[in-house]
A and B are shown apart, each in its own frame.
Chain A
Amino acid sequence: MTAYLFRRILYVIPILLGVNLITFALFFFVNSPDDMARLALGGKRVTEESIERWKRDKGYDKPHFYNDAAAGTDRFTDTIFFTRSASMFALDFGVADDGRDIAQEIRTRMWPSLAIAVPTFVVGLAFYITFALILAFFRATYVDVSGVIVCVAAMSISSLFYIIGGQYLISKLWHLAPISGFGEGVSALKFLALPVAIGIVSSAGANARWYRTIFIEEINKDYVRTARAKGLSELRVLFRHVLHNAMIPILTGVVVIIPSLFLGSLIMESFFSIPGLGSYTIEAINNQDYGIVRAMVFLGSILYIVGLILTDVAYTLVDPRVRLD
Chain B
Amino acid sequence: MNPRMRALLPILLAAGLLTACDHGALNNPYPEHQRGQNIMYSFFNERPKHLDPVQSYFENEIRFTAQIYMPPLQYHYLKRPYQLIPFAAAAMPRVTYYGAGGEIVPAHASPSEVAYTRYEISIRPGIRYQPHPAFAIDARGQYLYTGLPERQLKRYRSLADFERSDTRELVAADYVYQIKRLAHPGLHSPIFGLMKGYIIGLDVYAGELEQLSATAASGTYLDLDRFEISGVRVVDRYRYTIDVRGKYPQFLYWLAMPFFAPVPHEAERFYRQPGMPVNISLDWYPVGTGPYMLSVNDPNRVMVLERNPNFGGEPYPFEGEAGDATAGLLNDAGEEMPFIDKVVYSLEKESIPYWNKFLQGYYDLSDISSDSFDQTVSISSTGEVGLSDELRERGIVLHTSVSSTTIYLGFNMLDPVIGGLGERARKLRQAVSIAVDMEELISIFRNGRGIPAQSPLPPGIFGHRDGEAGINPYVYDWVGGQAKRKPVEVARRLLKEAGYQNGIDERTGKPLTLYLDTTLVGPEAKSRADWFTKQLRKIDVQLVVRATDLNRFQEKLRNGTAQLYVLGWNADYPDPENFMFLLHGPQSRAKGSGENASNYASREFDGLFEQMRNMDNGPERQDIIDRMVAVVQRDAPWAFGFHPADYNLAHGWVHNIKPNTMANNELKYQRVDAAQRTRLRDEWNAPVFWPLLLLAVLALGAMAPAVIAWRRRERGIARQKYLAQRAEPKP
What residues on B are CB-neighbors of A179 within 8 Å?
Answer: 27, 29, 353, 356-357, 360
CB pair A181–B190 under 8 Å, yes or no, is no
The verdict on A211 contacting chain B, using a C-beta distance below 8 Å, is no
Complex CA–CA separation, A38 to B21 (angstroms)? 48
What residues on B are CB-neighbors of A53 within 8 Å?
Answer: 185, 188
The verdict on A178 contacting chain B, using a C-beta distance below 8 Å, is yes
CB pair A190–B26 under 8 Å, yes or no, is yes
CB pair B301–A275 under 8 Å, yes or no, is yes
Complex CA–CA separation, A275 to B279 (angstroms)? 17
What residues on B are CB-neighbors of A176 within 8 Å?
Answer: 26-27, 687-689, 692
Interface-facing stretch out of A64-72, A80-88, A101-109: A101-109
CB pair B703–A143 under 8 Å, yes or no, is yes
The verdict on A210 contacting chain B, using a C-beta distance below 8 Å, is no
Residues 256-283 of chain A, each 1 if its beta carbon lies under 8 Å from chain B, else 0:
0000000000000011110100010001
Interface-facing stretch out of B170-178, B549-557, B613-621, B653-661: B549-557
CB pair B298–A177 under 8 Å, yes or no, is no
- State which of A44, A137, A173, A231 has its C-beta within 8 Å of the C-beta of B595: A44
What residues on B are CB-neighbors of A229 within 8 Å?
Answer: none
- State which of B347, B359, B709 has its C-beta within 8 Å of the C-beta of A273: B347
What residues on A are CB-neighbors of B551 within 8 Å?
Answer: 30-32, 35, 288
The verdict on A92 contacting chain B, using a C-beta distance below 8 Å, is no
Complex CA–CA separation, A283 to B46 (angstroms)? 10
Instruction: Give the interface size bracket for B toward A.
Output: 35 or more
Complex CA–CA separation, A20 to B325 (angstroms)? 64
CB pair A42–B186 under 8 Å, yes or no, is no
Interface-facing stretch out of B191-199, B392-400, B486-494: B191-199
Complex CA–CA separation, A151 to B118 (angstroms)? 76
A35-B551, A99-B281 known; A175 and B687 CB under 8 Å?
A: yes
Interface-facing stretch out of A10-18, A164-172, A297-305, A313-321: A164-172
Q: For residue A166, give the distance in angstroms from its CB to the closest CB of chain B.
A: 11
The verdict on A2 contacting chain B, using a C-beta distance below 8 Å, is no
Q: Which residue of B lies closest to A137 (CB)?
A: B710
Q: For residue B328, give the distance in angstroms from its CB to the closest CB of chain A.
A: 31
Which of A112, A142, A273 counts the most B-chain CB atoms under 10 A from its CB?
A: A273
What residues on B are CB-neighbors of A168 within 8 Å?
Answer: 356
What residues on B are CB-neighbors of A270 within 8 Å?
Answer: 349-350
A143-B703, A176-B688 known; A167 and B188 CB under 8 Å?
A: no
CB pair B706–A173 under 8 Å, yes or no, is no
What residues on B are CB-neighbors of A283 within 8 Å?
Answer: 47
What residues on A are CB-neighbors of B691 within 8 Å?
Answer: 169, 173-174
What residues on A are CB-neighbors of B357 within 8 Å?
Answer: 179-180
What residues on B are CB-neighbors of A182 within 8 Å?
Answer: 301
Contacts of B680-703 to chain A: CB distance below 8 A? 685-689, 691-692, 702-703
Which of B27, B31, B58, B281 counts the most A-chain CB atoms under 10 A from its CB?
A: B27
The verdict on B116 contacting chain A, using a C-beta distance below 8 Å, is no
The verdict on A90 contacting chain B, using a C-beta distance below 8 Å, is no
A179-B27, A181-B346 known; A138 and B298 CB under 8 Å?
A: no
What residues on A are CB-neighbors of B549 within 8 Å?
Answer: 30
- State which of A54, A95, A191 has its C-beta within 8 Å of the C-beta of B29: A191
What residues on A are CB-neighbors of B298 within 8 Å?
Answer: 275
Residues 8-24 of chain B, each 1 if its beta carbon lies under 8 Å from chain A, else 0:
00000000000001100
Q: Which residue of A lies closest to B48 (CB)?
A: A98
Q: Which residue of A lies closest to B21 (CB)?
A: A190
CB pair A273–B188 under 8 Å, yes or no, is no
Which of B193, B301, B549, B691 counts the most A-chain CB atoms under 10 A from its CB?
A: B301
Q: Which residue of B lies closest to A181 (CB)?
A: B29
Q: For residue A201, give the distance in angstroms from its CB to the closest CB of chain B.
A: 12
Complex CA–CA separation, A172 to B554 (angstroms)? 43
A30-B549, A143-B706 known; A177 and B593 CB under 8 Å?
A: no
CB pair A178–B190 under 8 Å, yes or no, is no
The verdict on A46 contacting chain B, using a C-beta distance below 8 Å, is yes
The verdict on B348 contacting chain A, using a C-beta distance below 8 Å, is yes
Contacts of B263-310 to chain A: CB distance below 8 A? 277-279, 281, 283-284, 298, 300-301
The 6 closest A-B pairs by CB, nearest first: A275-B300, A180-B353, A47-B193, A178-B29, A181-B29, A275-B301
20 sample A-B contacts, Cβ–Cβ < 8 Å, listed by A number: A38-B554, A46-B593, A47-B593, A49-B193, A50-B192, A100-B278, A101-B277, A101-B278, A104-B279, A138-B710, A172-B360, A173-B691, A175-B26, A176-B26, A176-B692, A179-B360, A187-B31, A191-B29, A271-B349, A273-B301
B interface with A by C-beta (< 8 Å): 21-22, 25-29, 31, 47, 49-50, 57-58, 185-186, 188, 190-194, 218, 277-279, 281, 283-284, 298, 300-301, 346-350, 352-354, 356-357, 359-360, 549-551, 554-555, 572, 593, 595, 685-689, 691-692, 702-703, 705-706, 709-710, 714, 721
Instruction: Taking A53-B188, A179-B27, A190-B21 as given, write out 13 further A-B residue pairs in contact, using a Cβ cutoff of 8 Å, ordered by the A residue number.
Output: A32-B551, A48-B593, A98-B49, A98-B50, A112-B300, A138-B710, A164-B352, A173-B688, A174-B692, A175-B360, A178-B28, A180-B357, A187-B21
